[in-house]
């Protein structure tokens, strides 16, 4: 296939306004540190703080996340997802944050997402736009994956975010779906986009009228998914700035960025990251982990087999390593360690840990905190 011709500056300028050149706490701290820090772009932090308005001390909030209030936003600067969730929870503790996710999502624009936002604009249809998000979101965050799933004459745009369903995470999910709606409206021919339904897995707030007004459709809480349901008519609509030539050029750039991220860790390490984040909700399924990694189950199975591993073995290894790390931290009770490693009962965890380490969790913990004796 012939390489696409780079677009002219005028073409890119029509997609981006004031867009620079393309460039490249502590509750579950051990859980996150065990493999690699879960991270999100600091841009999201700045957007949330701005959406909170005058009811909070914006400068103090940004400093608490390690950001300079006076510095220009740098989307490539990443922060811990835990810090991000804590900041959202802090805002919720200081003001009525019912509409905070909606205001945050509504403030997002394609240009905020850099090359990914440009690719979203340049895709010929909304289906193409969301496909870019599903493929390249890893450039912006390591805690979220997306998928497009057909359902009869409609399509689900599904958000997959593992981790304990704390308030900050739940509100972040709402903001994510709100932003997905905002940028869909931005690229549409007439500036409108209305999902058929919005679904969220967490319980509903006291008032949902704001949510239904923003999305323009029924919003279902306590659902089995975090997603928006889109009619095929809407998802196949032509984008107002769709340009196949530009989108191919941008995809080349995004593929390079994605490769840089993927090459920093082995597949085994990245798989263990995903497994570790999901364990507090029970044992993850291989198809869910593969989806989070952006590959098929068959590909994941084959590549693990190339290293002499199975998904089951890697899951067991991850549980053991995480359990040992948590047991070395006295802040976690053994019951909490059992929960965070995917066990519904402490007795089951005790048996599994003895099989792994040869000692009970209590004996292992005691040995870790006992002073060494001289020979």
Query: Mind listing the pLDDT tens digit for each residue in 29-77?
Result: 333 333 344 778 889 999 999 999 998 999 999 998 888 999 888 877 8
pTM higher than 0.75, yes or no? no
Domain end among 257, 280, 296: 257
232 & 308 share domain: no
Strand 219-220 relative to strand 197-199, pairing: parallel
139 & 286 share domain: no
Query: Mind listing the pLDDT tens digit for each residue in 180-230?
Result: 999 999 999 999 999 999 999 999 999 999 999 999 999 999 999 999 999
229 & 312 share domain: no
Rounded CA separation 156/165 (Å): 22
Q: What is the total count of domains within the chain? A: 2
78 & 163 share domain: yes
DSSP 209-252: HHHHHHHTS-EESS-S-EEEEEEHHHHTSBPTT--HHHHHHHHH
227 & 275 share domain: no
Phi and psi (nearest 5°) for 170?
-65, -45
331 & 303 share domain: yes
Both tokens of 18, joined, read 């004031």
Q: Which of 7-16, 80-89, 131-140, 293-302 has the lowest mean pLDDT?
A: 7-16
Does residue 199 sit within a domain? Answer: yes
Does residue 5 sit within a domain? Answer: no
Domain span at 365: 267-369
249 & 293 share domain: no
Domain end among 257, 292, 308: 257
Does residue 321 sit within a domain? Answer: yes
């Amino acid at each position: 296939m012939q390489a696409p011709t780079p677009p002219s500056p005028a073409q890119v300028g029509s997609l981006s306004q004031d867009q620079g050149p393309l460039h490249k706490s502590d509750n579950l701290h051990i859980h996150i540190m065990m493999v690699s820090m879960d991270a999100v772009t600091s841009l999201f932090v700045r957007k949330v703080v701005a959406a909170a308005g005058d009811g909070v001390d914006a400068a103090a909030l940004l400093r608490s996340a390690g950001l300079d209030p006076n510095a220009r936003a740098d989307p490539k600067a990443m922060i811990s997802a835990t810090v991000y969730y804590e900041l959202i929870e802090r805002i919720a503790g200081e003001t009525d944050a019912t509409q905070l996710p909606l205001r945050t999502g509504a403030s997002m624009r394609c240009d905020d997402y850099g090359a990914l936002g440009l690719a979203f604009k340049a895709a010929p249809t909304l289906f193409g736009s969301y496909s870019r998000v599903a493929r390249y979101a890893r450039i912006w965050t390591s805690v979220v994956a997306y998928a497009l799933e057909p359902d009869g004459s409609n399509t689900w745009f599904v958000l997959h975010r593992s981790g304990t369903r704390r308030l900050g995470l739940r509100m972040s999910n709402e903001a994510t779906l709100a932003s997905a709606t905002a940028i869909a409206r931005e690229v549409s021919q007439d500036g409108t986009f209305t999902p058929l339904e919005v679904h969220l897995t967490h319980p509903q707030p006291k008032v949902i009228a704001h949510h239904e007004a923003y999305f323009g459709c029924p919003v279902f809480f306590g659902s089995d998914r975090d997603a928006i349901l889109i009619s095929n008519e809407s998802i196949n609509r032509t984008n107002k700035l769709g340009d196949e030539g530009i989108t191919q050029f941008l995809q080349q750039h995004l593929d390079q960025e994605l490769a840089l991220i993927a090459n920093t860790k082995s597949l085994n390490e990245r798989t263990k990251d995903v497994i570790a984040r999901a364990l507090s909700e029970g044992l993850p399924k291989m198809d869910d982990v593969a989806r989070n990694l952006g590959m098929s189950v068959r590909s994941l199975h084959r590549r693990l087999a190339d290293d002499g591993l199975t998904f089951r073995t890697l899951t067991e290894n991850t549980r053991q390593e995480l359990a040992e790390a948590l047991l070395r931290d006295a802040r976690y009770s053994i019951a909490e360690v059992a929960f965070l490693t995917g066990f519904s009962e402490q007795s089951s965890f005790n048996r599994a840990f003895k099989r792994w380490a040869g000692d009970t969790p209590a004996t292992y913990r005691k040995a870790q905190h006992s002073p060494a004796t001289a020979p």
